[in-house]
Amino acid sequence: MNDRNLKFEVIWKDDDMFEMRISANNGRYSGITEVYEVSESLLGFVNELNGFPFGKDKVSHSCGEKDSYAYFEMEFYKIGPTGKCGVLITMEENVSTEYRKEEKDKLSMELIIEPNAIDVFCRELKSLAEKEDGIAELKAIGNYTSNIE
Protein backbone atom coordinates (compact mmCIF):
# COMPACT_ATOMS: atom_id res chain seq x y z
CA MET A 1 0.00 0.00 0.00
CA ASN A 2 1.35 3.41 -0.98
CA ASP A 3 0.48 5.97 1.67
CA ARG A 4 3.03 8.49 0.37
CA ASN A 5 0.89 11.43 -0.61
CA LEU A 6 -0.25 15.01 -0.24
CA LYS A 7 -3.96 15.22 0.53
CA PHE A 8 -6.33 18.20 0.64
CA GLU A 9 -9.76 17.83 2.25
CA VAL A 10 -12.37 20.56 2.69
CA ILE A 11 -13.57 20.50 6.30
CA TRP A 12 -15.54 23.78 6.55
CA LYS A 13 -16.81 26.57 4.32
CA ASP A 14 -18.86 29.75 4.31
CA ASP A 15 -19.69 32.36 1.66
CA ASP A 16 -16.19 33.89 1.66
CA MET A 17 -13.70 31.03 2.14
CA PHE A 18 -13.20 27.40 3.02
CA GLU A 19 -10.93 25.51 5.38
CA MET A 20 -8.82 22.56 4.31
CA ARG A 21 -7.10 19.85 6.26
CA ILE A 22 -3.85 19.20 4.44
CA SER A 23 -1.89 16.07 5.24
CA ALA A 24 1.38 14.82 3.81
CA ASN A 25 3.38 11.62 4.20
CA ASN A 26 6.62 10.72 2.40
CA GLY A 27 7.12 7.33 4.05
CA ARG A 28 9.47 8.72 6.67
CA TYR A 29 7.79 11.94 7.85
CA SER A 30 4.17 13.00 8.03
CA GLY A 31 2.19 16.01 9.15
CA ILE A 32 -1.19 17.73 9.13
CA THR A 33 -2.25 21.37 9.16
CA GLU A 34 -5.54 23.20 8.64
CA VAL A 35 -5.59 26.40 6.58
CA TYR A 36 -8.12 28.77 5.02
CA GLU A 37 -8.28 29.27 1.26
CA VAL A 38 -10.39 30.94 -1.43
CA SER A 39 -11.43 29.32 -4.71
CA GLU A 40 -9.89 31.95 -6.98
CA SER A 41 -6.43 31.54 -5.47
CA LEU A 42 -6.51 27.74 -5.69
CA LEU A 43 -7.86 27.79 -9.27
CA GLY A 44 -5.05 30.17 -10.28
CA PHE A 45 -2.53 27.71 -8.89
CA VAL A 46 -4.18 24.77 -10.71
CA ASN A 47 -3.90 26.68 -14.00
CA GLU A 48 -0.22 27.37 -13.34
CA LEU A 49 0.53 23.77 -12.29
CA ASN A 50 -1.38 22.18 -15.18
CA GLY A 51 1.10 20.54 -17.58
CA PHE A 52 4.02 20.74 -15.15
CA PRO A 53 6.97 20.12 -15.60
CA PHE A 54 6.80 20.88 -19.32
CA GLY A 55 7.88 24.46 -19.99
CA LYS A 56 8.29 25.34 -16.31
CA ASP A 57 11.05 24.87 -13.75
CA LYS A 58 9.16 25.64 -10.53
CA VAL A 59 5.59 26.28 -9.44
CA SER A 60 4.53 27.06 -5.88
CA HIS A 61 1.45 27.88 -3.82
CA SER A 62 0.87 28.79 -0.20
CA CYS A 63 -2.10 29.21 2.17
CA GLY A 64 -2.24 30.86 5.54
CA GLU A 65 0.45 33.11 6.93
CA LYS A 66 4.01 32.12 7.83
CA ASP A 67 4.74 32.44 11.57
CA SER A 68 1.04 32.91 12.30
CA TYR A 69 -1.59 30.36 13.36
CA ALA A 70 -1.26 28.02 10.37
CA TYR A 71 0.68 27.96 7.09
CA PHE A 72 1.12 25.59 4.16
CA GLU A 73 3.35 25.80 1.11
CA MET A 74 4.10 23.42 -1.74
CA GLU A 75 6.81 23.99 -4.32
CA PHE A 76 6.98 21.74 -7.39
CA TYR A 77 10.33 21.41 -9.20
CA LYS A 78 12.02 19.21 -11.78
CA ILE A 79 14.53 16.54 -10.76
CA GLY A 80 17.04 16.22 -13.58
CA PRO A 81 16.20 14.71 -16.98
CA THR A 82 14.34 11.70 -15.54
CA GLY A 83 10.86 13.23 -15.78
CA LYS A 84 10.43 12.83 -12.03
CA CYS A 85 9.48 15.86 -10.00
CA GLY A 86 9.86 16.88 -6.41
CA VAL A 87 7.44 18.69 -4.15
CA LEU A 88 8.85 20.54 -1.17
CA ILE A 89 6.10 20.73 1.45
CA THR A 90 6.22 23.14 4.38
CA MET A 91 3.64 23.09 7.17
CA GLU A 92 3.30 25.21 10.28
CA GLU A 93 0.68 25.34 13.02
CA ASN A 94 -0.04 26.45 16.58
CA VAL A 95 1.82 29.61 17.54
CA SER A 96 0.70 30.69 20.97
CA THR A 97 2.22 34.18 20.87
CA GLU A 98 4.31 36.31 18.55
CA TYR A 99 7.12 36.21 21.12
CA ARG A 100 7.49 32.42 21.12
CA LYS A 101 7.76 31.38 17.46
CA GLU A 102 9.87 28.36 18.47
CA GLU A 103 6.74 26.81 20.01
CA LYS A 104 5.22 26.45 16.56
CA ASP A 105 4.90 22.96 15.09
CA LYS A 106 6.90 23.03 11.84
CA LEU A 107 7.58 20.41 9.21
CA SER A 108 9.37 20.41 5.87
CA MET A 109 9.51 17.32 3.65
CA GLU A 110 9.91 16.22 0.07
CA LEU A 111 7.72 13.97 -2.07
CA ILE A 112 8.97 12.44 -5.32
CA ILE A 113 6.26 12.21 -7.97
CA GLU A 114 5.69 11.30 -11.61
CA PRO A 115 4.24 13.94 -14.00
CA ASN A 116 1.05 11.88 -14.59
CA ALA A 117 0.29 12.11 -10.84
CA ILE A 118 0.31 15.92 -11.22
CA ASP A 119 -2.32 15.68 -13.98
CA VAL A 120 -4.66 13.66 -11.73
CA PHE A 121 -4.00 16.03 -8.81
CA CYS A 122 -4.82 19.08 -10.97
CA ARG A 123 -8.19 17.60 -11.98
CA GLU A 124 -9.09 16.77 -8.37
CA LEU A 125 -7.85 20.11 -7.02
CA LYS A 126 -9.83 22.02 -9.68
CA SER A 127 -12.99 20.16 -8.68
CA LEU A 128 -12.31 20.81 -4.99
CA ALA A 129 -11.80 24.55 -5.64
CA GLU A 130 -14.90 24.89 -7.83
CA LYS A 131 -17.21 22.99 -5.45
CA GLU A 132 -15.42 24.07 -2.26
CA ASP A 133 -15.89 20.48 -1.22
CA GLY A 134 -14.21 17.10 -1.55
CA ILE A 135 -10.71 15.66 -1.57
CA ALA A 136 -7.68 16.07 -3.84
CA GLU A 137 -4.72 13.74 -3.52
CA LEU A 138 -1.24 13.80 -5.04
CA LYS A 139 0.25 10.32 -4.96
CA ALA A 140 4.00 9.98 -4.62
CA ILE A 141 6.33 7.28 -5.88
CA GLY A 142 6.16 4.18 -3.64
CA ASN A 143 9.71 3.91 -2.34
CA TYR A 144 11.22 6.57 -0.13
CA THR A 145 13.68 8.40 -2.34
CA SER A 146 15.90 11.39 -1.89
CA ASN A 147 16.81 13.75 -4.70
CA ILE A 148 20.48 13.36 -3.79
CA GLU A 149 22.19 11.39 -6.53
pLDDT band at 149 (very low <50, low <70, confident <90, very high): very low
Within 8-50, residue ranges assigned H as helices are: 39-49
Domain extents in the chain:
5-139
Q: What is the DSSP letter of 140?
A: P
Using omega within 30 degrees of 0 as the cis cutoff, is the peptide bond preceding 81 cis? no
Taking residues 38-50, what's their average pLDDT?
97
Which of 24, 120, 145 minimizes the C-alpha distance to 74?
24
Quote the pTM value. 0.90
CATH number for the domain formed by residue range(s) 5-139? 3.30.2450
pLDDT tens, position by position, 87-131: 999 999 876 666 666 677 899 999 999 999 999 999 999 999 999
Q: Determine the Cα–Cα distance for residues 140 and 10; give it in Å rounded to an integer.
A: 21
